[in-house]
Structure 1
């Protein structure tokens, strides 16, 4: 089987890559012949070498607007030529290329991800490209996977396609040491890619006031430099209580930050089940989240929800930071919910079941 549409294996870029780092070895251990398509330079020095998994690097253009399409096309073309029994395709932008696999009688399981055509970071042309890809996915995919019940409802209404609900998973870590310079429960954490729809600007404004009383740790970057990264750099330079770590690919460090944070602020507004939120829950991070249908679906009644306003964000975070009892209760409740609903073993088993169903169907 082939996995198309991520940056490769192993990669630490985002949610798709995290899922593949868990799913690929799970399938390989259960007898699947797994090929993961990716990009040059996605692995880092010291990554474990799993010789059960074949990594294929294809060509593409490294740019914000063209990389997904170009790498998706080259990977799909290679898969069509080699004819795996089944393909797991991530991201609706690759919907344009599904006919290549269909012509070769390769069944496809497509993870539709979030609602990319509504994200603020994309311009008009990019939004139209993603919407076109969604329409192509609805027409040509053999089977769909959505990581959120609400996303599934949207696809049924807007594209007349149903699919399987499979969320992301989270690892419940062992007790980890507090990162240097921090104290358990005494700092506020923000982890996200720097894009407007992740409530980046509003959190930075809130952080200016929060940092008067508490340490603030910011993890993430835009991935391309520029205004958003510069704003985080300036805030960290101006306030001794603010630390900007940039992108963190060390899972142990990231898990430790979530495990010991007094509050984790989750500002994502567009998408389904967010991988960072699920992992934060598995680490027991008391969470203040932007009030969206997606975040409420994942957190249930165990999060604190706020409007995307700097004052509201600061007030909600302060309230939790001031109550050790509330922090303790949230840690227990949120982690228990992650164990029950977002365990990787169940997630991987669901993917394998869907792949088996596709293989059993005549093409």
Structure 2
């Protein structure tokens, strides 16, 4: 008989909203490939019946919740957990430690849990006081109730060991390789020119304000391509629009939903700036690595863990430092080629979806078989 797993805490399957959704698009079919009966919980409006990536072996269940910046994760998580309790799978894979508030319900029902805790969300500037409190409370409940913790980076595991005295297993994100792609017709003007690229949600902790300031100087010599937005307008969107309107070599594309277009930009970029400063292993960074993007990264413990010291240039989050590093790299084709080769090799060695999916399957299977309960709780995060 098939082992049954419920996946809780994402917007659904297949969904393209964030890192958790990216992981579930890979993990759910991989589990089905090795005989699991997989159910993914989601929210209304995420269904894409015509999506060519849809795997019909995956059961999709939609529950209700409140569409609120602070409460949506909690409320959708609660209704998904209640439905899971009713259906009694062999194990639940829970994404996001905010859902830790509801883990006691699964524990009472005898359903073991594997929880991906995500990053340290209560330290993100984008969240308000209520949301930060929700994440911190959920983290405490996760530390108390989860049977198995998953960290997407060693540095996150070290934080949980230090703050919550809990260990777990490190399972990062993977990326997709692609053959050489031509630039999208709308980007054809960039062909043959080294250009700077940034791909990020427009929030301060992604170093977007500093990059936009640096772009003014970079664009005097090289094109600058900006992918991303806040999603709701605001000062950062206004700044990007002003740059694009007043400087002919600044191109703000907003959100790019076409993977081939985005992948081609990463492949053709002369310098990709990755400014994310919180969280663990960033899915966009891993994807850029698989596509050989010569990378300049904000100097953080997370980015150094993923890239190592030789696979990128690291900079402080200052406009002058960013501009200096980007201009230096764009002026050096030999270094661009070296970084492209090294970063791709590192991605293929350490950050593949095959390895990620196998690690999730092992963690879930151990819970079903009760292996973890039969050995010491501490599992080194490595």
Give TM class, smaller chain.
over 0.9
Q: Which moved more, 1:58-67 or 1:169-178?
A: 58-67
Maintained 8 Å contact 1:2/1:36: yes
In the TM superposition, what is the alpha-carbon distance from 1:42 to its structure 2 partner? 2.2
Maintained 8 Å contact 1:184/1:262: no
Number of the residue aligned with 1:50: 55
Number of the residue aligned with 2:376: none
Q: TM-score, normalised by structure 2?
A: 0.92
Question: Are 2:328 and 1:324 equivalent residues in the alignment?
Answer: no
Number of the residue aligned with 1:196: 204
In the TM superposition, what is the alpha-carbon distance from 1:306 to its structure 2 partner? 0.5
Classify 1:339/1:119 alpha carbon distance in 2 versus 1 (closer, same or farther; 3 Å). same
Give the 4+ runs in structure 1 shifted more than 3 A: 43-46
Q: Which moved more, 1:36-45 or 1:50-59?
A: 36-45
In the TM superposition, what is the alpha-carbon distance from 1:50 to its structure 2 partner? 1.8
Number of the residue aligned with 1:31: 35
Where does 1:112-123 land on structure 2 (aligned, <5 Å)? Answer: 112-123=117-128
Number of the residue aligned with 1:308: 317
Separation (CA, whole Å) in 1 of partners of 2:64 and 2:232:
20
Where does 1:1-363 land on structure 2 (aligned, <5 Å)? Answer: 1-44=5-48, 46-48=50-52, 49-179=54-184, 180-184=188-192, 186-301=194-309, 302-361=311-370
In the TM superposition, what is the alpha-carbon distance from 1:255 to its structure 2 partner? 1.3
Q: Which moved more, 1:243-252 or 1:84-93?
A: 243-252
Separation (CA, whole Å) in 2 of partners of 1:224 and 1:95:
29
Classify 1:81/1:199 alpha carbon distance in 2 versus 1 (closer, same or farther; 3 Å). same
- 1:87-116 deviations in Å (ceiling 9; x for gaps): 111111000011111111111100011110
Separation (CA, whole Å) in 2 of partners of 1:359 and 1:8:
23
Separation (CA, whole Å) in 1 of partners of 2:200 and 2:297:
12
Separation (CA, whole Å) in 1 of partners of 2:297 and 2:319:
13
**SS where residue 181 of structure 1 aligns?**
helix
Maintained 8 Å contact 2:70/2:130: no
Maintained 8 Å contact 2:71/2:131: no
Q: Which moved more, 1:212-221 or 1:91-100?
A: 212-221
User: Which consecutive residues of structure 2, in runs of 5 or more, have no partner in the other structure?
Assistant: 374-382
User: Which consecutive residues of structure 1, in runs of 5 or more, have no partner in the other structure?
Assistant: none
Separation (CA, whole Å) in 2 of partners of 1:2 and 1:214:
49
Q: TM-score, normalised by structure 1?
A: 0.97
Maintained 8 Å contact 1:178/1:184: no
Maintained 8 Å contact 1:306/1:313: yes
Classify 1:184/1:271 alpha carbon distance in 2 versus 1 (closer, same or farther; 3 Å). farther
RMSD: 1.4
